[in-house]
Structure 1
Amino acid sequence: MVPLLLLSGMAAPALAQPMPEQVRDGAVALQARRQGRLLPLPEIEKRVVPTMRDAQYIGFDLEMPSGIYTLKFLRDGAVIWVDVDGRTGQVLGRTGR
């Protein structure tokens, strides 16, 4: 019986550790997407990528809980960031040239 108590006592702190921020944000984003509160990335890309002529699309970030997508582009060696409201698809701003 003693080994079981020791084992259960050792397992409890591991379960109590906080979830990593990336995992938590990913879960929040997935839930928001499933509930229709966040547009899917392909929809955001379909709206923004064609407007960035002469620039190479290199990826995105999603900030949670704000729901802001930041699409990243490369043009002539310079990075351009386009912030998009993930709820509406509206471009909020652009940084870079």
Structure 2
Amino acid sequence: MTVLLALLAAPMGSPPMIEPPMGMAPDQRRGDQMRAFQARKEGNLSLREIEQRVVPTMRDSQYIGFDYDAGAQIYTLKFLRNGTVIWVEVDGRTGKIIGRTDG
């Protein structure tokens, strides 16, 4: 009972920060989305087009999201397979897979 009263009487500080999944801040995800949208306006393939090409080739994996490098015009699609994250790099101009972490 004494411990409970001590906890209730303790000063309340600010609540602990909760990290977004995989350490990516929501504003970072939003920034990737905006850069991808801008790239689409400039003639690159859309994220949807990239996903339609790549996701079906990863049948045994779960698609968990993407990053977009506006400077290099490369989408990095992230997948999860058997507890391992797999990154697939895709040229935003052509839709060709240019790199993959699982060989």
- Regarding TM over 0.5, the answer is yes
For 1:66 and 1:31, the matched residues in 2 are separated by: 14
For 2:34 and 2:85, the matched residues in 1 are separated by: 28
1:26 deviates by: 6.1
1:53 deviates by: 1.5
C-alpha spacing 1:24/1:79, structure 2 compared with 1 (3 Å): closer
For 1:33 and 1:53, the matched residues in 2 are separated by: 26
Cα deviation 1:31-71 (Å, max 9, x = unaligned): 331131x1100000000000001100000000011110000
Residue 98 of structure 2, aligned match among 78, 92, 96: 92
Point out where structure 1 has 5 or more consecutive residues left out of the alignment. 1-20
Which is worse superposed, 24-33 or 43-52?
24-33
- The one-letter amino acid of 2:87's match is W
Identity of aligned residues (%): 62
1:96 deviates by: 3.1
Matched residue, 1:5: none
Q: Which runs of 4+ in 1 moved over 3 A?
A: 21-31
Residue 33 of structure 1, aligned match among 27, 33, 40: 40
TM-score w.r.t. length of structure 2? 0.64
C-alpha spacing 1:34/1:47, structure 2 compared with 1 (3 Å): same
TM-score w.r.t. length of structure 1? 0.67
Matched residue, 1:16: none
Tell me how large the CA RMSD over aligned residues is.
Answer: 2.4
Work out whether residues 32 and 67 of structure 2, in 8 Å CA contact, stay in contact via their aligned partners in 1.
no
1:25 deviates by: 6.9
Number of residue pairs the alignment of both structures matches: 77
